[in-house]
């Protein structure tokens, strides 16, 4: 038995690969390296370079490696890009997920763990956000993911596979052992960008919006550490392999930090008072997104290990430093 990790050369997928290998699993990564990195895949994992939409390749990979479960991370993930290129997003995230699922069903794969997102909720009317809130995504990225959740639901009913859809809130930090982290040079994620500003790799940091109805006017988010998140996937896989039902679970800590609070923590941990510019709102940002986070703990017995923003920022800073050193070498 082996686990196929699509998008395993990317930020979150590479942490899943580490978590699976640490748990003694056999791992095969399928990635087209469109935003991922070959060096992010450890030597103990098998690597197949290719497109998850290539049904013949996926079928061959499933058969050759005896795949019983797929952890499906591969996607395009930049919300504004999804607004300017919706058909590109529906192709990669929805149409190619359909091809992957078809090959999985035909190849007898029993379980799928899917990377969904808080973006399926759009601008939620309540916070913390419960999983049963009606889905009202406000951009093509969120819609592309919602449709894949639907395909999984329908496929589970029709073909008997079981799945866990995990709706991530804001993912941050890096492997505590320094083996992986967020490597995308143009990443737009707040904690990554703030760390780059602290290390002098960016001249300043923009704060997008200071007039939101929140504690200090800036947006509030729930930042979950990436290895804690990967651990939830491993528990989800155990749950399914033991015959557990299909599930949809939020992944967050249920704790919100404002953009200005995050910046304070990055300044304190780094010891650098970098320049911060207060800017107008960024289109499409909901004021607050905090996970209703009880279900993942109750159903999977998930216990976070790194629920501490200082620690998450320390990891992100350490990763940025190691990236800068490897680029300089
Ligand atoms: N980063 C976040 O905060 C966040 C939040 C919610 C959900 N997610 C979801 O988590 C998943 C992983 O995101 P990430 O932050 O690691 O992004 P990432 O860009 O680092 O990783 C995506 C990986 O998928 C690969 N890929 C893309 N299209 C492919 C295709 N057609 N065939 C094969 N490989 C392909 C890329 O090369 C890359 O390695 C995505 O599904 C994303 O929607 C991320
Ligand atoms: O330079 C920056 C970067 C971000 N922000 C703010 O910081 C908050 C967090 O922004 P991120 O870009 O880090 O994350 P998002 O909340 O926009 O998006 C994340 O969560 C979404 C789910 O809602 C999607 O899944 C998406 O892929 C994932 O990156 C937002 O209020 C944003 O406006 C800034 O002020 N300045």
Could you read off the pLDDT of 271-287 as tens digits, one per residue?
999 999 999 998 878 99
pLDDT at 42: 97
- Going from the Cα of 170 to the center of ligand 2, the distance in angstroms, rounded, reads 7
Q: Are 152 and 163 in contact (CB under 8 A)?
A: yes
- The pLDDT, as a whole number, for residue 327 is 80
**Torsion angle of C-alpha atoms 48, 49, 51, 54, degrees rounded to 10:** -50
Output the residue whose Cα is nearest ligand 2's atom 19: 170
Ligand 1 pocket mutation pick from 5, 18, 36 by most atoms within 8 angstroms of CB: 36
Question: What per-residue confidence (pLDDT) applies to 279?
Answer: 98
Predicted pLDDT of residue 185:
84
What tokens does 10 get? Answer: 């990317």
Best mutation site among 167, 186, 190 for ligand 2, i.e. most ligand atoms within 8 A of its Cβ? 190
Active site residues: 141
Which of the residues in the chain have pLDDT under 50?
none
Which residue ranges form the domains of the chain, and what is each CATH number? 2-172+223-251 (3.40.50.720), 190-221+254-291+305-328 (3.90.25.10)
Cα(163) to ligand 2 centroid in Å equals 27
Tens digits of residue pLDDT in 124-134 = 999 999 999 99
Ordered alpha helix ranges (H), 175-305: 190-198, 226-241, 259-270, 294-300
Is the confidence metric ipTM above 0.85 for this complex? Answer: yes
The number of the ligand nearest the C-alpha atom of 182 reads: 1
Peptide bond into 135 cis (omega under 30): no
Q: Where are the alpha helices (DSSP H) in the chain?
A: 11-22, 55-65, 79-84, 86-89, 96-106, 140-159, 190-198, 226-241, 259-270, 294-300, 309-328
Q: Residue whose CA is closest, atom 28 of ligand 2?
A: 170
């Amino acid at each position: 038995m082996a686990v196929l990790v699509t998008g395993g050369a990317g930020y979150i997928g590479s942490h899943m690969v580490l978590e699976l290998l640490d748990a003694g699993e056999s791992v095969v990564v399928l990635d087209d390296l469109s935003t991922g990195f070959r060096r992010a895949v450890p030597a103990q994992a098998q690597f197949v370079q290719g497109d998850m939409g290539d049904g013949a390749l996926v079928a061959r990979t499933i058969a050759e490696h005896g795949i019983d479960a797929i952890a499906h991370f591969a996607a395009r993930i930049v919300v504004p890009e999804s607004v300017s290129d919706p058909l590109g997003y529906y192709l990669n995230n929805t149409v190619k997920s359909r091809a992957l699922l078809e090959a999985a069903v035909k190849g007898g794969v029993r379980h799928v763990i899917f990377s969904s997102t808080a973006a399926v909720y759009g601008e939620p009317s309540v916070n913390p956000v419960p999983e049963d809130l009606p889905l009202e995504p406000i951009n093509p990225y969120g819609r592309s993911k919602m449709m894949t959740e639907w395909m999984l639901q329908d496929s589970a009913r029709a073909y008997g596979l079981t799945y866990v859809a995990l709706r991530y809130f804001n993912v941050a930090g890096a492997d505590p052992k320094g083996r992986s982290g967020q490597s995308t040079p143009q990443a737009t994620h707040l904690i990554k960008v703030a760390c780059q500003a602290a290390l002098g790799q960016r001249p300043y940091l923009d704060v997008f919006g200071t007039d939101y109805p929140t504690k200090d006017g800036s947006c509030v988010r729930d930042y979950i550490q990436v290895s804690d998140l990967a651990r939830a996937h491993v528990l989800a896989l155990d749950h399914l392999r033991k015959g557990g039902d299909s599930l949809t679970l939020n992944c967050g800590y249920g704790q919100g930090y404002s953009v200005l609070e995050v910046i304070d923590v990055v300044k304190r941990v780094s010891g650098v008072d970098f320049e911060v510019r207060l800017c107008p709102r960024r289109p499409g940002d909901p004021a607050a997104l905090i996970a209703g986070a009880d279900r993942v703990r109750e159903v999977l017995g998930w216990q976070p290990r790194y629920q501490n923003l200082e620690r998450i920022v320390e990891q992100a800073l350490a990763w940025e430093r190691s990236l800068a050193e490897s680029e300089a070498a």
